[in-house]
Structures are given as C-alpha cells and as structure tokens.
C-alpha cells in the first residue's frame, strides 16, 4: 500500500459506499458537569447530537441508547478498589476519602462531581456496546462520541479521564478478532491505552500527538513496546502548529503500512478534537476537514470500525467536528451552511460547519517529517506479518438485546502480564506544576458554553423521539517512558475463531 491508500477524492466516505452505522447516545450525558471553569464539558455531546439531528444524520443510522456498564464490566481492566471508590465517592463525602483521593489521582484535573460513577458507566457502556455491535456483525461502524477517555489507568484517573472505555472496548473486540488496531489523533498521547497493551501483539497502538513539555509527557518515538509487544506500540511525536498537509504526510503512509503488515480484524479510532485549530488546550492547526480526513481514510479500508471521542475544549468546534465526522461515517457530505438547531447562537457569527486552519506557524519542518516517517516505517517493517493466535471453540451466537450478557462474558485465565519496569512512581512525587496541554486550574473562556441553566436542561421531546431503539435497563445501575509502577495483570480473551 502506498500513501494514497483507499481514500478517493471527492467522496465524503472515502470509497463512497454506504456502511451500517450504529450511533450510541444517551440523552442524559449532557447533564454531567465537571465544575465551574473546568474545560471538560460533557454538554458538548448534546450540542453534537442536536447538530447532527438537524442535519438529518439520525435518519441514516441506527440510534441506540447504551446500557450502563456494570461494576464487573469495569473491573475487567480497572482495580476493584478503584472502581469501588468511584462508586462511593460524592462531592458531599469526598472528605471521608481524603487519604485515597491522592492515591487515585482524583482532585483538580479529575474532580469529584455529582453523578461521577453514572457518567463513567454511561460513556463506557456506549464504547463496549459499540464493540458488541461490531462483534455480532450488526454494524460496520459504531460511534460513541462520549467515549475516548484514553488517559485513565488501571488504578487511577488522569487527564479528565476516570474509566478507560477504550481498553474495555478493545477487550470486547478481542473476543472475536485476532488483532485489534488502536489509532489516536488526539493532541495528547494515548498513554492509558498504550500502557494497557504494551507487551502484547494482539493490540497495536498508533498515537499521533504533541510531544515534549506537554501533558502527559509520554509517547517518545523510541517507546515501541516490550517483549511480545515490541514494535506494536507506534508513537508519532509532533511539534506544535502542524497543519492538514503535514499531518497527512505522516498519517496516510504510516496507517497504510500498519494495515498492510498487521491486518487487524477491527479498528478503534480515537477522534480527540483538541487537535483542531484554536482548541483551548491544544496547539495543533488542523481544520475540521483535515481531522475528518483521518476518519475517511481509516473507513476506506472497510474493516469493522469503532469511532470514539476524546479531548476537545472549544466546544462549538468539537460539535462541528464530530457532526461532520458522523457524516463521513455514513457517507454523506454535509453543507457548510449550518441548519438552525438548539444551540445555533453558539456557532455565530459564521453559522458554518467547517473550522479552517489558522496562520499559526508550523514547527514541523519537512525534513523532520521525512525523517520521522522513515523511522516509523522502518519500525513497522520489523513486525511479524499478521501474528496469529490459537484456534478456540466459537461461543454461541448472542440473541439481539443481549449486549450486556456478552459484555460480562468471563475472560479466561491470565494470558498476559504487563512488564514491570523498575521505576519509582511515588504518588507523593507528582509534579505540582501542570504540563502545557492540561488544565492549569484557571477558569477557561468557554464557561458560557454549555454552563449555567442550559447544561441541566433535558432534550426536547422531539429529539428524544429520534432514539429509534431503546434497550432495556441493565440489572444494576449500571523524553519520558511509560511508567509501570506495579505489575499489572490484564487478561486478554481467547479469540473465538480465526477470520
């Protein structure tokens, strides 16, 4: 495969063909609120939903309200005591947990807020539910814009992320697929996902991110994996100001080579919108079309695809981006002139869908990009072509509506033990000065975007009617190196059959 891949110019969906798309959305997601002045605003999902509904995209895909993930579903990756803490802590009781707040890295960046655990259950249920849709061949593409919280670790919150829905969705996909590819286009390194799968060849992680004095500080080119996972972690460290042309100069040849060599059975694409031009915490210079070109290109390979959200802190641009990329997923080119919608006033004075790049200086020289591309392609070429796994008896097919049964399918005995690097990672030694690219504790300018009374409003009835298939409620409410401060055991499920 060459850098041109399968993406055809002039067709919003890459190859122009339609896909069966499932879109996961819970009308309650916009009710959650990190706190006054915090840059993470779940209200952006409500704005995205309103926008895509008024473009008519809901008529071209299945709209599904996700199950809430249960305790035991979250514990497939996260430590029991950490999940118990998330379940019990509230703003009123957090002083009782003072001793463990620091241990679990919960505080300013990752605050305790009303409904925290329900929020985690909600966004995780969407990602795992999307994986189930792909596994049961009921969708070609599944979308969960509320997911993509890629920084969360096994035993701690990080970077506004509490539960790593991506890791849990990948574990679900591994029940049916020999190999899963994870791609991350957030401006921040996808450290939590990389760390979880750092020593296995069953999952390949590829992250394009700002590197240097920038949160979380990981994702060096030399971080390539360990043991069986060596060269299955691909890091693309970028400088600030990268534009569409420079980004695609790396993205297309790298992903083409990965697809050629690794041949994944499924792909998870994290579409963090903080890599857009003008993001309040980001420093890249991508347009909406340039960002969406990554979605279009990955879609063109016609491999089961899970799209999740992630970062994005200029919320009107996040809504624009994810609405446009939903159009890419279903194969529809959306008009730039925006239709009237519930949040129309937020998109003025232009009232247009597309966000252009700015005149920000690009600190990524052609020489740097060429050298980086050459090293990345050399590393990928060292991989064993399409590593295989043993055959196992296929489990019985799931009946429709049994997503949570499949979600809670017991994972076999331990197949993978993540390597413990002998590095000190004492929680007491956490730096007090935040890195660029993460919130510094100061109120952001977007306080008016989705806050006040509006963030507590419920969707109008006509929008609720667009939820075409509501599933029954679950039985329960439902240059730094990656640091491994303990031996983390992660069980990978046996593949059901060889595709």
Task: Find the range with the poorest average confidence among 92-106, 354-368, 422-436.
Answer: 422-436
Q: How far is residue 11's CA from residue 40's CA, in Å, rounded to a whole number?
A: 33
Question: Is 111 a residue whose pLDDT tops 90?
Answer: yes
Residues 232-270: tens digit of each pLDDT: 999 999 999 999 999 999 999 999 999 999 999 999 999
Residues 457-476: tens digit of each pLDDT: 333 333 333 323 333 333 33
Q: Left, alpha or beta for 258 (phi > 0: left; psi -120 to 50: alpha)?
A: alpha
Q: How far is residue 99's CA from residue 106's CA, in Å, rounded to a whole number?
A: 11
Q: What is the mean pLDDT of residues 171-200?
A: 98
CA distances from 181 to 171, 492, 499 (A): 12, 15, 15
Task: Find the range with the poorest average confidence among 80-94, 101-115, 469-483.
Answer: 469-483
- Name the residues annotated as catalytic: 151
- Give the per-residue pLDDT at 82: 98
- The 10 Å Cβ neighbour count of residue 212 is 16
Find tokens 């409410």 and name the residue: 477
Among candidate residues 167, 213, 226, the one with its CA nearest the CA of residue 482 = 226
Token pair for 169: 């969705």
- Give the per-residue pLDDT at 194: 98
Residues 146-180: tens digit of each pLDDT: 999 999 999 999 999 999 999 999 999 999 999 99
As a dihedral over the C-alpha atoms of residue 52, residue 56, residue 62, residue 63, rounded to 10 degrees, the angle is 50
Per residue, the 3-state secondary structure of the chain, as one string, reads: CCCCCCCCCCCCCCCCCCCCEEEECCCCHHHCCCCCCCCCCCHHHHHHHHHHHHCCHHHHCEEEECCCCCHHHHCCCCCHHHHHHHHHCCCCCHHHHHHHHCCCCCCCCCCCCCCHHHHHHHHHHHHHHHHHHHHCCCCCEEEECCCCCCCCCCCCCECCECCCHHHHHHHHHCCCCCCEEEEECCCCCCHHHHHHCCCCCCEEEEEEEECCCCCCCCCCCCCCCCHHHCCCEEEEEECCCCCHHHHHHHHHHHHHHHHHHHCCCEEEEECCHHHECCCCCCCCCECHHHHHHHHHHHHCCCCCEEEECCCCCCHHHHHHHHHHHHHHHHCCCCCCECCCCCCHHHHCCCCECCCCCCCCCCCCCHHHHHHHHHHHHHHHHCCCCCCCCCCCCCCCCCCCCCHHHHHCCCCCCCCCECCCCCCCCCHHHCCCCCCCCCCCCCCCHHHHCCCHHHHHCCCCHHHHCCCCEECCCCCCCCCCCCCCCCCCECCCCCCCCCC
Q: What is the mean pLDDT of residues 133-137?
A: 98
Residue 231's pLDDT band, with cuts at 50, 70 and 90, is: very high
Mean pLDDT of the chain: 83
Q: What percent of the chain has pLDDT over 90?
A: 73
Q: What is the mean pLDDT of residues 422-446?
A: 47
Q: What is the mean pLDDT of residues 49-66?
A: 98
Token pair for 467: 């939820």
- Give the per-residue pLDDT at 292: 98
- Give the per-residue pLDDT at 492: 79
- Give the per-residue pLDDT at 453: 34
CA atoms within 13 A on the CB side of 54: 18
- The 10 Å Cβ neighbour count of residue 71 is 17
- Give the per-residue pLDDT at 26: 98
Q: What is the mean pLDDT of residues 363-377?
A: 98
Question: Is 354 a residue whose pLDDT tops 50?
Answer: yes
- Give the per-residue pLDDT at 438: 57
- Give the per-residue pLDDT at 385: 80
- The 10 Å Cβ neighbour count of residue 273 is 32
- Give the per-residue pLDDT at 11: 43
Residues 405-431: tens digit of each pLDDT: 333 333 333 333 333 333 333 333 333
- Give the per-residue pLDDT at 351: 98
Find tokens 């069966």 and name the residue: 20
Token pair for 187: 């401006």
Q: How far is residue 28's CA from residue 33's CA, in Å, rounded to a whole number?
A: 11
Residues 263-307: tens digit of each pLDDT: 999 999 999 999 999 999 999 999 999 999 999 999 999 999 999
Q: How far is residue 202's CA from residue 493's CA, in Å, rounded to a whole number?
A: 10
Question: Is 485 a residue whose pLDDT tops 60?
Answer: no
- Give the per-residue pLDDT at 444: 58
Q: What is the mean pLDDT of residues 383-387?
A: 80
């Amino acid at each position: 495969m060459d850098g041109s891949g399968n993406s055809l110019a002039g067709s919003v969906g890459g190859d122009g063909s339609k896909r069966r798309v499932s879109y996961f959305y819970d009308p309650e997601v916009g009710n959650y609120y990190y706190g006054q002045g915090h840059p993470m605003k779940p209200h952006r999902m409500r704005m995205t939903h309103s926008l895509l509904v008024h473009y008519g995209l809901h008529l071209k895909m299945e709209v599904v309200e996700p199950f809430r993930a249960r305790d035991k579903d979250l514990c497939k990756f996260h430590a029991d005591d950490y999940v118990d803490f998330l379940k019990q802590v509230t703003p009123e009781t957090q002083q009782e947990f003072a001793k463990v707040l620091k241990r679990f890295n919960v505080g300013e960046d990752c605050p305790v807020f009303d409904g925290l655990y329900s929020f985690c259950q909600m966004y995780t249920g969407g990602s795992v539910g999307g994986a189930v849709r792909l596994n049961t061949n009921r969708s070609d593409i599944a979308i969960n814009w509320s997911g993509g919280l890629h920084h969360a670790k096994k035993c701690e919150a990080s970077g506004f992320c509490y539960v790593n829905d991506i890791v849990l969705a990948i574990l679900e996909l591994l029940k049916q697929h020999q190999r899963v590819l994870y791609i991350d286009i957030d401006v921040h390194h996808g450290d939590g996902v990389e760390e979880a799968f750092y020593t296995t060849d069953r999952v390949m992680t590829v992250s394009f991110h700002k590197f240097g004095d920038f949160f979380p500080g990981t994702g060096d080119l030399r971080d390539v994996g360990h043991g069986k996972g060596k060269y299955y972690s691909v890091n693309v460290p970028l400088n600030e100001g990268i534009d569409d042309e420079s980004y695609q100069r790396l993205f297309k040849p790298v992903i083409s080579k990965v697809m050629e060599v690794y041949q994944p059975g499924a792909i998870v694409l994290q579409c963090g919108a903080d890599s857009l031009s003008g993001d309040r915490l980001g420093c890249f210079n991508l347009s909406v079309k340039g960002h969406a070109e990554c979605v279009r290109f990955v879609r063109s390979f016609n491999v089961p695809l899970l799209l999740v959200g992630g970062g994005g802190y200029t919320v009107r641009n996040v809504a624009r981006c994810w609405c446009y990329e939903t159009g890419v997923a279903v194969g529809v080119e959306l008009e730039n002139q925006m239709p009237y919608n519930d949040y129309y006033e937020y998109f003025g004075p232009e009232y247009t869908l597309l966000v252009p790049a700015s005149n920000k200086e690009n600190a990524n020289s052609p020489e740097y990009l060429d050298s980086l591309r050459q090293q990345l392609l050399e590393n990928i070429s060292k991989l064993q072509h399409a590593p295989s796994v043993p055959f196992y008896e296929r489990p019985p097919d799931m009946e429709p509506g049994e997503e949570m049964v499949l979600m809670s399918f017991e994972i076999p005995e331990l197949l993978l033990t993540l390597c413990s690097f002998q590095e000190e990672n004492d929680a007491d030694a956490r730096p007090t000065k935040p890195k660029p690219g993460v919130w510094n504790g100061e109120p952001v300018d977007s306080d008016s975007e989705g806050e006040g009374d509006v963030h507590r409003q419920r969707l109008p009835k006509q929008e609720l009617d667009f939820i075409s298939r509501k599933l029954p409620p679950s039985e329960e409410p439902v240059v730094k190196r990656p640091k491994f401060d303990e031996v983390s055991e992660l069980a990978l499920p046996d593949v059901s059959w060889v595709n």
